[in-house]
Each structure stands twice: as structure tokens, then as C-alpha cells.
Chain A
Amino acid sequence: MEKIILFLTVLCCTLSSCTKEKTDYEAEIDTIVPERIEFKEVTNFKSGNYTIRIEALGGQLYKGYNQIRLKIEAPDQPAPSTVTLLPILTDSQGKISSCPHRYEQLYQAEEGYFEGYVVFTEESRNTSHWDLHIGFTAAEQLHSNSQRIQVRPQDNKNLNMTSFTGNDGEQYFIALIAPQKPKVAENNLTAGIYKYNKPKALSSSSTIDPAQFSYSQVEGYTLQLDPRMPEPSMGNHSSPNNKDLVQGTDKLYHGVVNYTMTGNWTLNFILLNHQGRIVKGTVVPNDFTPGVEGIKSELHIDILF
């Protein structure tokens, strides 16, 4: 009897083991969506007695939205103030330009760092490079520095960005900020919307003039959202219960996007100004068309998870 029971137990174990493994759904998203939670040092340099540390999520800078922390340290030296940051791109012809950023950094007293952000519009290449111009005042003395940094291509499509010229002739930038790692769920979608402030007068000076590179956060606009799967076999599939992005108290734009399954999605946008006029974007068809690739809005960002 014992033998039989033992034999049956062994048999049961072999029979009850699965032929195909279950999908590890969360791990599968991890393999394709890098998530960076911790701020790490990107680089550091000296300015007089001061050591300036540039920190970003994961210790790297990427095309798209980057939150930046500056730690300016020096033992027994007066605390720095009025910290400014200006990213400058120099192309192969030596022409310089910038990208959306916060110029005057906010001091976070508790944590002891200065906080800002940069939306890099392209990655560093052999022919073009980015420099961060960092200035601060300490003991009534102005320190200005320039530090070459490496901007990597964005490897997380959920943090993609786009730039365009609106129907009002202004130059706009939309960068995705959250979620870094979406789920098949209702996701709170956060984006930054920026605008290039055209300078009143062209600068003639050879030194870099921050007024030439002024960007601001767009106020009071609405970003209408229509997420769809562009894959032909998905037939222009969409999801319910999405919410358009509107500006929050943090000046960023917040909405809700539902992803019904993993894969490629297109966030189709229409940007409306305060009067409700279309700045950019087109209405996409909403019919179900299996076998046909989904038509995208002229203003859209592709994501993948």
C-alpha cells in the first residue's frame, strides 16, 4: 500500500507540473522598460573651492525630460545662492541652441540641493555636444562654469518627447514624465509642455546670453488625449475612461491613460490653448479597422511597454 501511495504521489507530481510556464507579467515589462528610481551622480567638477555635483535619475542624462539636482559643496565656505543652469547644444557648424529647462534652480533646504530640470531635445552625437552652463553666487562672487555632458538616447519610450511649431507660430515641446513604467491599468499620465520664448532682440555678444535661450512652461492649455494601438492587427484599438491632460499646481500637465494590454501604443494629442483653439493635432478616426495600421494625429508620442 505504501509503495502504491508513493508511486501515485510521484505520478501526481509529474502529471501536475505545467506543460507551459505562466507568464511573469511584471518581469516581462521590466525587460523592456528600464525604470530609474534613485538619483545618482552624473558628473562632478570643481569651481574654486566648490565641488559641483550633478545628479540625475540613474546617474545618466537622456533625451527627453530629466530632473536635475545640483549639489554645490565646499567645507567652511559660504553657502551658494542664485544657482542657474543653461544647457547649450553646439552643432557641427558651431551653431548653438538650447532646450526647455529651468534656468533658476530651486533650493531644497531640507535635502540641501538645488533642483531643476532639462528637456534634452536630442542626444549627444559625434558632431554635436551638450554643455551645462552652471552659475552661482557665493560670497558675492559670481561663479560660472561649463561642463560637457553626455546625453544618451532615450531607452524608455514611455519618456519620449516631441517638438513642433504650433499653428500660432510658436515652438512647443511636449515631454512625457510619468509613468516611467506603465501597467495594463489606469495610469496617471504626466507631461511637461514648454514653449520657446522668442528673444526680443538678437544678441550680438559672443558670450552666451541666457535671454536668447528662454523657455517657459505653457500655462492653462489642454492636451486632449486619444490613446490607440497602431499595430495593423489591432485595428486601431483604443481604451475607455481616459482623461485629457490639464495643468496641475506643479505646472505639469496631468491626465489618465488606460492601457488595455502591453505593446506599442500611440498617444494621439490635440493641444488646445486657453481659448480652446487648436495649437496642434488632428482628430484620429475611431472606427475599428483590423489589418490597417492606425492613423496617428499630427501631434503624437509613441510609447512601448
Chain B
Amino acid sequence: MNVVFALLLGVCTVNAQDNLAQRDTTKILEEIKVKAKGKKKIKTDMKLAVSVDEFLASSQSISFIKRGAYAWEPLLNNMSSERSSITIDGMHVFGACTDKMDPITSYVETNNLSTVDIKSGQEGNLHGATVAGSIDLQRKSTAFGLDKKVTGSYQTGFEFNNKQHFNLADMSYSGNRFVADGSISFRKAKNYHSGDNKEVKHSQFNKFNSSIGLAYKTGERSALRIDAIYDKAKDVGFPALPMDLWLSRALITSASYKQIFEDNIIQFWDTKVYYNTIEHYMDDTTRPENLVHMDMPGWSTTYGLLSKIALKRGRLTSEVQLNAYDNLSIAEMRMYPQDRSKRTMFAYSWPWITTRFAGLSTSNSLDLSDKSHLTFGGSLGWNYNYSKYVEFNKIFYPDAPQKKNSILPSLHASYHVNVARFDFSVGSGYGHRAPSISESYGYYIYNSFDRYDYIGNPHLKNEISYEINATAGYKSNKMGIQAKVNYFYIQDYIVGRILSMGSPMNYQSVGVKGYTALDHANILNLAISTNYDILPHLHWKGTITYARATDGQRGNLPFIRPLSYQTSLHYMYKRFGIQTSLNGDAVQRDYSPEYGEDKTPAYQIWNASADYVLPIQKVNATLQIGAENILDTYYSTYADWGNIPRMGRNIFTSLKINF
């Protein structure tokens, strides 16, 4: 595969040079590519070379359920991943794992992303229905006709705790009529060690990711672009689960056509068709202690269309987007009897579930004055589910319909105002989301957290979210402070409840739970962040977050982050940079035993790193060395599946070269 890719890059460069000759006036299309340079780079305060998960973790509104060292499940506003809309350039991709081993964020790599766009609540409805918000992973796409034709970067590094080494390279060519972006990356890690220097077995991973994007200018103001990402994870351990991953492969492709309009209300029109397919094969042969050997393969295939028009008239800018997709998700479960000559036992954990969605959404911004503006938007979607083997669902729900339609409306508005050095905003939102396929049609999906087998409920109603949010900020030359708060009142909030019928199928299981809806749930998120420049080259940052979520009957919801804090110092001196940070969670006071949680104690982690920009001409090379969890604290967080311990002291080194 690697050879193929190298070859492919070669082909692109050669062809690109043919086109290089024409040097016409067309710089118009420079802005054709969505993301201008200088956006927030994919790195964190502590680390220059990070994984996508580590990068997302640096956002205040994202926390993670961790089942190992790989493929963390992002929780936005303390809500699980089915409540947020996670997309790659607006494209929907659905994981093929019933055990959530493969959130969409696991199918990209930092060197093919330009930025990650996180929106909270209904503001994130542009790409589809959501409750918690949206995470859009935006790919790199180089503009046409840049002065510097060939750019690229290379990152390599080693992390001592789990002997992880990684190599990431990407290259872009920008011609007047032709643009090519390519990236390739390898990551390989062994088991990590927890704070007491115990090896956490089954925590290794291997990831290969590559991407290519080719754009061709079809006219003065139009361009055609094709993109593809290929991702392969092999032999990935999930220490918190009773199974590991043998192989997971994703192919994510799209073709888009963009037309720019000049001197018109219409700014541009961008239409994209996409196709992605995922295969996911779990493996328990690595766990000889398991009583039952099982095969659990899963597949997910999605076709989609996305068409967006950007409009501007006077003080109003608008985006109108059409989204449509069709997904087929299949998951199988085969159990082997102890006497292998006997017949195996088979069932579908996703009995061939089709999901279709079509929706129109809009997002607008109206400048009321120089100092204030209003953003508002809405969407109306249609969601359709079809269970091919509905007889599986009828076992627990005898009148389960084979087809289900639902309408998903959404509205949001917020008002933003600047007063001197202060800025304020208040907003509100309302929206529906359809139950996920596991929630509706899942069949004996084992949850190793509370040790129940989960049965989907085809009669679930949409979750309806009412939200309010507000921000307040102050900025001066030397300091800034910002506070954000949001509150969600979610009607028909979907949770699992013990069923009085049926009996477990997975041998580790203690019972059967079915999805059902709470009358309502309340979720409150609060974050305060500050920064202060102590000296011109010495910066301090601090963040505190707090969340509280209840089931409406004074019970707590699970996976809600306790009071947490992070404080960091960053010092720059000539070519050197030094940073140190302290972060931790307070004791998990409001845990939820009903959903399998226990009280997680408080912890505090200290990290530090230093970087040095090498004195080399033309290329920009940075060397970094650092350590996470310097004191080798043994800890596990509120969202570590099955209380698996987090990584102990980890010394990391990296080299990053940009040219």
C-alpha cells in the first residue's frame, strides 16, 4: 500500500509540472479554498505533534470516553457521540463498530486536517440534526496559484511510555490550474504503562493514514476537486473492552464542484457528492481468558450529497445547505461453542439498518451595528430508518415497524454585542435528533461499562433539546477572560434501563437493558478561561470547567465531567520555548451508580515541554522534548471505561519540519 501511495504522489507531481507552464492572471480562485492560512494549527499548548484526539482534548467543550490509548469517543458538552454531528468536511461517516471503537475522529490524521470546527448546540445544525453540537473535521486544501508552489511538512517523534513512534508527511502543490495535496502517516505504539509502572495490556495500536486531494480549475471561477482518505488501523488493543480490534479500514472519498460568483448576492455555490465505506473486525483471540470466542465484524457504507450556497446582501450573510445521505450499517455476532464441531451461533447486532436523511439548513449573520450582530438559523430534516431483518427487533418489541420516518426541526438564534473591551452574547436553540441505530435497532450489544446487553427500542421518540447559552468576555492588551455557560433541557432523553424480560447473551453480561426515554434531562456546562501576559514573553493561561447533569428526578447522568482545571505557563526566549501545565479533576461528586459509575477520586497531573527552532535557512524545523505526567501519578478519570488507568510518566520527543 505504501508503495502505491508513494507512486501516486509521484504521478501527481509529474503531471502537475506539465500544467505549470501557464501563468495567467487567475488569482481569483485563490480564495476558492475555504480555509485561509493562519487558522488555529493542529497542536496543543504542550505538544507540537499531537494526535487528533489529543488536539480535540484541548477544547474546553470536549471530553472523552477512553477505552484504551486509541480512538477516544469525543463527548461534546458532556453528551455522548450520538448526540453530536461529527463530520469530515460536512460529510457524514458512520462508524462500523457496535462498541464505539471507531468514532469518526479515528479515521483522520492531524496532517490531513487544517482545522476542527466545533460548534455548540443547535448552532451546529448546518450539516445535520444534533443536540450537543457539531464537530467538523476540515481537511487541508491548498489554494490555486500560491507564490510558493510546493510546500510540505514532516513530523516524526517518539514517546517513551508506550514506545510510540510516528512519521507524518504531507506535501502540497499549488499551480494556477491544478492543485494537489497529499499526506501519509504511520503511528505504531506498544502497550502503555500506568502510574505505578504496570503495563496496561492490550493498549497497543497501529495506524496508517493517507490522503490525497486533487483540484482542477475548470474555468475562471470554478473548480473541480476530488478527495480521498484511506485509513487503516490494525492490531489495536482496547484494554477496557473484552475484545480488541484486528483490522479497521476506511475509505472516504468525495468529488466537489465549486462556482464563485462575482458582484452578486450569491458568493459561491459548492456541491459535493461523497462515498465512504468502513470495515471493522474485532478480535478476541488475543484474550484467551474469554469463555466464549466470538467474531464481531461490522460494515458501514454511506453515500451522500451536500450542496451549499453562500449569500451576502448588505449586512446579512447567509449560508444555505442541502444535506442528504444514505447509510447502511451491518454488524454481525457469531459465537463459537466450546465444542467447536458444533454449530456456531449467529445473530446480527445491527440487522442491516439503513438510515436516510435529507435536510435543508441555513445559518445567517446580520450586523445590527458596528458593535452588535445577530446570528440565527434553522434546519428541517427528514430521517428514515429501515431494518432489513426486523424480525430481530420484533423479539423484544413485537410490533416493531420495519420503517420509521421522523421530522427533525431545529432553530437557533443568538445576539452578540461588544461594549468597549467587553463582549457578550446570549442565545437560544431548539432541535430534535433521531435515535441512533444502536438505540433504535441494536441487538444484544454488550456494554462492558455497566455489564449489560443492550437492546434497541424501535419505538423511541426523537430527543428534543431546548437550550440557552451565554458568554461574557473581557479583553485588554495584557489579559483576557471569558466565561461560557450553556444549559440544555432535553425532553425524551434516551438512556438504557433494565428490562424485566430476556436473559443475557454475552457471558460477561449481568442482564439485559433496553433503551428508553427519560421524561427529561438537564445538562449545564460552565467554562471560564483566562490568559495573562506576565511578561512580554511569559504567558499564563487558566481554565476551569464545571458541568452538572441530572435525569430530572435528582439522579445523575453518567460521564459528566467533574470540576476540572488546567493552568499553564509559556515562556519564549529567542529560539526556545518552554511550557508547563498542571491539570486535574476534582473528586467526582455527582457520579451515577445507576449507570455503572463509581466515585472517581481527584487527580492532578503535571506536564512540561521545551522546544527549539533549529537555525536552518529556508526550512522551519522545530525540535521538542517534554514529559506528561511527570510525577508518574496513578490515576483514572471519570470517563475511563472500566476505570482503566491512564498513562503514567511519558517522555515525548518530536521533530517538525515545514518547508
**When the two chains form the complex, which single residue of B8, B337, B348, B504 contacts A263, counting CB atoms closer than 8 Å?**
B337
**Chain B, range 315-342, C-beta contacts under 8 Å to A:** 330, 332-335, 337-338, 342
> With A12-B251, A234-B345, A261-B346 given, is the CB distance from A23 to B501 under 8 Å?
no
> With A19-B281, A186-B398, A263-B345 given, is the CB distance from A238 to B503 under 8 Å?
yes
With A15-B251, A240-B499, A241-B501 known, 12 other A-B pairs at CB within 8 A are A5-B226, A8-B228, A19-B249, A20-B281, A20-B297, A185-B392, A231-B345, A232-B338, A233-B335, A240-B501, A260-B347, A263-B346
CB–CB B503/A286 < 8 A: yes
Task: Write out, one digit per residue, whether chain A residues 1-29 have a CB within 8 A of any chain B CB (1) or not (0).
Answer: 10111011001100110111011010010
Complex CA–CA separation, A235 to B4 (angstroms):
49
Complex CA–CA separation, A25 to B443 (angstroms):
15
> With A11-B4, A261-B335 given, is the CB distance from A183 to B391 under 8 Å?
yes
Would you list the 4 A-B pairs with minimal beta carbon distance, nearest first?
A185-B391, A263-B345, A240-B501, A290-B507
Give every chain A residue within 8 A of B344 (Cβ-Cβ).
262-263
Judge whether B505 is part of the interface by a CB distance below 8 angstroms.
yes
CB–CB B507/A291 < 8 A: yes
Task: Write out, one digit per residue, whether chain A residues 39-62 have a CB within 8 A of any chain B CB (1) or not (0).
Answer: 000000000000000000000000
CB–CB B337/A1 < 8 A: no
Give every chain A residue within 8 A of B158 (Cβ-Cβ).
none
Judge whether B15 is part of the interface by a CB distance below 8 angstroms.
yes
Complex CA–CA separation, A28 to B342 (angstroms):
14
Give every chain A residue within 8 A of B292 (Cβ-Cβ).
233, 290
Give every chain B residue within 8 A of A4 (Cβ-Cβ).
11-12, 15, 214
Complex CA–CA separation, A7 to B348 (angstroms):
36
CB–CB A22/B299 < 8 A: yes
Judge whether B444 is part of the interface by a CB distance below 8 angstroms.
yes
Give every chain B residue within 8 A of A239 (Cβ-Cβ).
395, 502-503
**When the two chains form the complex, which single residue of B12, B251, B291, B332 contacts A233, counting CB atoms closer than 8 Å?**
B291
Nearest chain A CB to B504 CB, angstrom units = 5
> With A16-B277, A186-B391, A241-B396 given, is the CB distance from A231 to B342 under 8 Å?
yes
CB–CB B392/A184 < 8 A: yes
Task: Write out, one digit per residue, whether chain B residues 236-253 have a CB within 8 A of any chain A CB (1) or not (0).
Answer: 000000000001010101
Task: Write out, one digit per residue, whether chain B residues 419-453 have a CB within 8 A of any chain A CB (1) or not (0).
Answer: 00000000000000000000000001000000000
**When the two chains form the complex, which single residue of A11, A32, A234, A240 contacts B335, counting CB atoms closer than 8 Å?**
A234
CB–CB B230/A15 < 8 A: yes
16 examples of A-B residue contacts, CB within 8 angstroms? A3-B15, A11-B4, A12-B253, A23-B334, A184-B346, A186-B394, A229-B345, A231-B338, A239-B503, A240-B396, A260-B444, A261-B335, A263-B337, A263-B345, A263-B346, A291-B291
Nearest chain A CB to B208 CB, angstrom units = 12
CB–CB B503/A288 < 8 A: yes
Give every chain A residue within 8 A of B571 (Cβ-Cβ).
none
Nearest chain A CB to B427 CB, angstrom units = 42
**When the two chains form the complex, which single residue of A183, A186, A233, A304 contacts B338, counting CB atoms closer than 8 Å?**
A233
Judge whether A144 is part of the interface by a CB distance below 8 angstroms.
no
Complex CA–CA separation, A32 to B342 (angstroms):
12
CB–CB A263/B251 < 8 A: no
Nearest chain A CB to B583 CB, angstrom units = 40
Judge whether B343 is part of the interface by a CB distance below 8 angstroms.
yes
Complex CA–CA separation, A229 to B503 (angstroms):
11
B248 nearest in chain A by CB position: A19
> With A186-B391, A263-B337 given, is the CB distance from A22 to B330 under 8 Å?
yes
Complex CA–CA separation, A236 to B214 (angstroms):
57
CB–CB A288/B504 < 8 A: yes
**Chain A, range 124-176, C-beta contacts under 8 Å to B:** none
CB–CB B391/A3 < 8 A: no
Complex CA–CA separation, A186 to B212 (angstroms):
49
Judge whether B261 is part of the interface by a CB distance below 8 angstroms.
no
Complex CA–CA separation, A8 to B291 (angstroms):
44
Looking at B178, B444, B505, B510, the one whose CB has the most chain A CB atoms below 10 A away is: B505
Judge whether B102 is part of the interface by a CB distance below 8 angstroms.
no
**Chain B, range 393-408, C-beta contacts under 8 Å to A:** 394-396, 398
B337 nearest in chain A by CB position: A231
Judge whether A97 is part of the interface by a CB distance below 8 angstroms.
no
Judge whether A71 is part of the interface by a CB distance below 8 angstroms.
no
Complex CA–CA separation, A261 to B501 (angstroms):
16
Complex CA–CA separation, A1 to B297 (angstroms):
37
Nearest chain B CB to A14 CB, angstrom units = 9
Judge whether B123 is part of the interface by a CB distance below 8 angstroms.
no
Give every chain B residue within 8 A of A234 (Cβ-Cβ).
335, 345, 505, 507
B178 nearest in chain A by CB position: A1
Judge whether B603 is part of the interface by a CB distance below 8 angstroms.
no
Task: Write out, one digit per residue, whether chain B residues 4-26 have a CB within 8 A of any chain A CB (1) or not (0).
Answer: 10001001100100000000000
Nearest chain B CB to A229 CB, angstrom units = 7
Nearest chain B CB to A190 CB, angstrom units = 18
Task: Write out, one digit per residue, whether chain A residues 215-237 have a CB within 8 A of any chain B CB (1) or not (0).
Answer: 00000000000000101111111
A1 nearest in chain B by CB position: B216
Looking at A15, A261, A263, the one whose CB has the most chain B CB atoms below 10 A away is: A261
CB–CB A264/B503 < 8 A: no
Complex CA–CA separation, A165 to B292 (angstroms):
38
> With A1-B216, A239-B395 given, is the CB distance from A184 to B347 under 8 Å?
yes
**When the two chains form the complex, which single residue of B279, B392, B398 contacts A19, counting CB atoms closer than 8 Å?**
B279
Nearest chain B CB to A144 CB, angstrom units = 45
Give every chain A residue within 8 A of B299 (Cβ-Cβ).
18, 22
Complex CA–CA separation, A291 to B503 (angstroms):
15
Give every chain B residue within 8 A of A32 (Cβ-Cβ).
343
Give every chain A residue within 8 A of B392 (Cβ-Cβ).
184-185
Judge whether B576 is part of the interface by a CB distance below 8 angstroms.
no
> With A15-B230, A241-B501 given, is the CB distance from A264 to B507 under 8 Å?
no
Judge whether B659 is part of the interface by a CB distance below 8 angstroms.
no
Give every chain B residue within 8 A of A240 (Cβ-Cβ).
395-396, 499, 501-502
CB–CB B279/A18 < 8 A: yes
Complex CA–CA separation, A263 to B292 (angstroms):
14
Give every chain A residue within 8 A of B15 (Cβ-Cβ).
1, 3-4
CB–CB B396/A3 < 8 A: no
Give every chain A residue within 8 A of B509 (Cβ-Cβ).
288
**Chain B, range 482-528, C-beta contacts under 8 Å to A:** 499, 501-505, 507-511
> With A232-B338, A241-B395 given, is the CB distance from A12 to B228 under 8 Å?
yes
Complex CA–CA separation, A273 to B392 (angstroms):
34
Give every chain B residue within 8 A of A229 (Cβ-Cβ).
345
Complex CA–CA separation, A268 to B391 (angstroms):
23
Nearest chain B CB to A98 CB, angstrom units = 34
Complex CA–CA separation, A15 to B5 (angstroms):
12
Nearest chain A CB to B248 CB, angstrom units = 10
Give every chain B residue within 8 A of A247 (Cβ-Cβ).
none
Complex CA–CA separation, A240 to B465 (angstroms):
33
Complex CA–CA separation, A233 to B505 (angstroms):
9
Nearest chain A CB to B280 CB, angstrom units = 10
CB–CB B346/A25 < 8 A: yes
Complex CA–CA separation, A183 to B333 (angstroms):
15
